[in-house]
A and B are shown apart, each in its own frame.
Chain A
Amino acid sequence: MINIFVTVGAQLPFDRLIKAIDLLCAESSDISVFAQTGETDYIPKHISYKKFLNAIEYSSKLVSCDLVLSHAGMGTIIQCMELNKRLLVTPRMLKYGEHRNDHQLGTAKQFACVSNKNTLLQVCENLDELDSLIRDMMKLENNSNFLSETNDTASVSLSDSVEEIIFGAT
C-alpha cells in the first residue's frame, strides 16, 4: 500500500490536484490518501480528507506517509527537504484561478532545474502523468538525494547575514 499525504497549503484550495488524486484512488486499490484540502466546495469520494490540520496533525501526516503530493509551496518543499521525503509538486496556475499570480510556475521551474528522475523531489506539470510519476518515485530508495544539487552554503549564509545585521558586522 502506498500512503500519500496531499497538502495544498494554508491559503487557497487547489481542486484540480484534489480531483486528480481522488480519481486516481478510485482506479487504484493500492493507493491510500489523506488530503488537506483547504476551504473548498469539492467533496472527494475516494480519499480521506480534512480542510485544515493543526501543526501536530500536519507533521505526523508528513512523517508517516511514503510520498507527499502538493502545490509548489515553499513550506512543503522545505519541510520535505528536512525530512528527506518523496515530494511531487504541481504548480498552481493563474489561468485556472488557483492563485493570485503565476509565481508557483517560477518556483516549479527553479526546482525542475535541480531535480531529475532519481531525486526525491519531482515536478508534475501534467496531472495525466500523476499515476506513473508516483509509481516511479516509489521505486526510489528512501535515502536518495532530495535534489540533484543543494546549496547548503546559501542557506547558512542567509541566517548569518541576518545575524550580522542584528548584531552589527563583526
Chain B
Amino acid sequence: MMSKTGSTLVAVASSGGHYVQLKRIVSNIKRLEAYNVLYVRTKIGGDDVPIGNEVLVTDFSRTNWWKMFVAFFEFIKVLGKPDVKWVVTTGAAPGLLALIIARCCFKKTIWIDSIANTSKISASGGVAKYFSNVTLTQWEHLEGCGRVEFMGRVI
C-alpha cells in the first residue's frame, strides 16, 4: 500500500469515446492511490452534470473553435494548481489545449492517441507530440513518427 503523495493527476478528454478510453486506462493503473485523481471532460447537452471526481469544461472543436477561449480559462483554473503533477489525455482538441496549458504550467504530460486512429495519428496528436513529455499511439505500425511510442492498447 502506497501512501498519498499529496499530488494530483488530472485526466482530461472530450466526452464520448475519448473519455471512455481515458477512464479505462487510468482506472487500471495499479498504484494510483498515491495520487488524487481528477477527471476533466467536456460538457455535452444542456443538462450534463459532473459525477464523482469529475469537472466539466466547455466543449469545442475545429467547427466552433472560438469556444476554446472559454475552455482556456476553465482549464487554467484546474491545471494551474500547485498540487497538479501529471496531466494525462486521450484527446481530442480540448485535450490538446489542456496539454499545452499543462506544459506552460510546468506539469508533466502524457498524450495517448485514440485507438480509433488506426491509419495515422490524430491531427491533435500530431501537434501534441511537440509539447508532451510522452506521446503514445495505440497501434504498433504508427510508432516512430517523430516521438510517438507504442506501449499497448486499451482493448
Taking the complex as formed, is B82 at the interface, i.e. its CB lies under 8 A from any CB of chain A?
no
Give the segment of A16-24, A40-48, A51-59, A126-134 that binds chain B: A51-59
* Closest Cβ neighbor of A57 among chain B residues: B47
How many chain-A residues does the 8 Å CB contact rule pick out?
Answer: 40
**A contact residues around B24 at 8 Å (CB):** 78, 155
Asked whether, in the complex, the Cβ of B119 is within 8 Å of the Cβ of A54, the reply is no
Q: Which of B44, B61, B151 contacts A52 (CB 8 A)?
A: B44
Roughly how many angstroms separate A73 CA and B114 CA in the complex, as a whole number?
A: 11
Whether a CB of chain A sits under 8 angstroms from the CB of B136 is yes
Q: List residues of chain B with CB within 8 A of the CB of A73.
A: 16-17, 116
* A75 beta carbon closer than 8 Å to chain B: yes
- Verify A159–B45 contact, CB threshold 8 A: no
Task: Check A65 for interface membership: any CB of B closer than 8 A.
Answer: no
**Among A55, A106, A162, contact of B51 (Cβ-Cβ < 8 Å):** A55
Interface of B, helix, strand, loop or mixed by DSSP: loop
Given contacts A76-B17, A162-B112, A166-B9, contact A81 B155 (CB under 8 A): yes
**Nearest CB on A from B124, distance (A):** 11
Interface residue B138 (Cβ < 8 Å from any Cβ of A)? yes
Is there a chain A Cβ closer than 8 Å to B153's Cβ? Answer: yes
In B109-155, the 8 Å CB interface with A consists of 110, 112, 114-119, 134, 136, 138, 151-155
A100 in the interface (beta carbon within 8 A): yes
Determine how close the nearest CB of chain B comes to the CB of A34; give it in whole angstroms: 16
A109 interface residue (CB < 8 Å to B): yes
Question: Are B136 and A161 in contact (CB-based, < 8 A)?
Answer: yes
B26-34, B70-78, B97-105 - interface stretch: B26-34
- On whether the beta carbons of B17 and A74 are closer than 8 Å, the reply is yes
A10 contacts the other chain (Cβ, under 8 Å)? yes
Contacts of B47 in A (CB 8 A): 54
Say yes or no: A77 contacts B44, CB within 8 Å.
no
Kindly identify which residue among B9, B16, B28, B29 contacts A10, using a CB–CB cutoff of 8 Å. B16
Determine if A1 is an interface residue (Cβ-Cβ < 8 Å): no
For the complex, give the distance between the alpha carbons of A11 and B60 in Å: 10
- Shortest Cβ gap from A163 to chain B (Å): 5
Name 17 A/B residue pairs within 8 A (Cβ), A-sorted: A73-B116, A74-B116, A75-B16, A78-B21, A78-B155, A106-B117, A110-B118, A150-B155, A158-B112, A162-B29, A162-B136, A163-B31, A163-B32, A165-B110, A166-B35, A166-B110, A167-B31
What 4 A-B pairs come out closest when comparing CB atoms? A158-B152, A75-B17, A52-B45, A161-B151
